[in-house]
Amino acid sequence: MRGGRTAGSSLILVAALLAALLPRPAAGATVLEVLAADGRFGRFLELAQRAGMEERLRQPGPLTIFAPTDAAFAEVLAARARAPGRAEAAPWPDAEALRALIGAHIVSGKALRLADLDGEGQELRSEGEAVLRLRPASRASALVTAAAAGPWEGRTARIVEPDIVAANGVIHAIDGLMLR
């Protein structure tokens, strides 16, 4: 202890200062606005815009969004660049491929929170027709696996930050993509 403070209290002070300085979406912010204010989802939002799906993220919900972080996109693109014969091809060459990619991460009709999962998990169908199986990995995380046949089959991502609440749904930050 130095100067009457412990290392723990210094960390709490730093966290409080950072929280006060970081931009926060306004009350009633949509999924789109919350994702934009967060700063970790720039690539997801850029691709949603190129796919013409930005408006979908503004519309009334409820929605559950499994949003890959920028780090998740970076890992996928780096792995793709190392794969023989695939580096030169664009990963999502047109608006249709981008709509499939973004749609695989959006579930309509539910604002599913991590606490809503039971021990067995749940199965959901995304707007991109991917069947997503959610199963708890811990009290603060879950795994999302694309279960149906198609370009998403077998893809698994971990929810790295659950329950980011927006006016029209719930966002779960994930560390992977549900589509190749």
20 belongs to a structural domain: no
For a pLDDT cut of 70, what percent of the chain falls above it?
A: 74
CATH number at residue 110: 2.30.180.10
Domain range holding 88?
Answer: 28-174
pLDDT tens-digit map of 76-115: 888 777 766 655 556 777 888 889 889 999 999 999 998 8
Instruction: Give the total number of structural domains in the chain.
Output: 1
pLDDT tens-digit map of 113-148: 988 887 778 889 999 888 888 888 887 788 888 876
Residue 10: helix, strand or coil by DSSP? Answer: helix
For the entire predicted model, the pTM comes to 0.80
94 belongs to a structural domain: yes
pLDDT tens-digit map of 43-61: 999 999 999 999 999 999 8
Q: How high is the pLDDT of residue 18? A: 42
Q: Pairing mode, if any, of strands 106-108 and 122-125?
A: unpaired
38 belongs to a structural domain: yes
52 belongs to a structural domain: yes
Residue 20 pLDDT more than 50?
A: no
Residue 124: helix, strand or coil by DSSP? Answer: strand
**CB contact at 8 A, 48 and 152:** no
Residue 23 pLDDT more than 50?
A: no
6 belongs to a structural domain: no
Q: Which residues neighbour 20 within 8 Å (Cβ) at sequence distance 6 or greater?
A: none
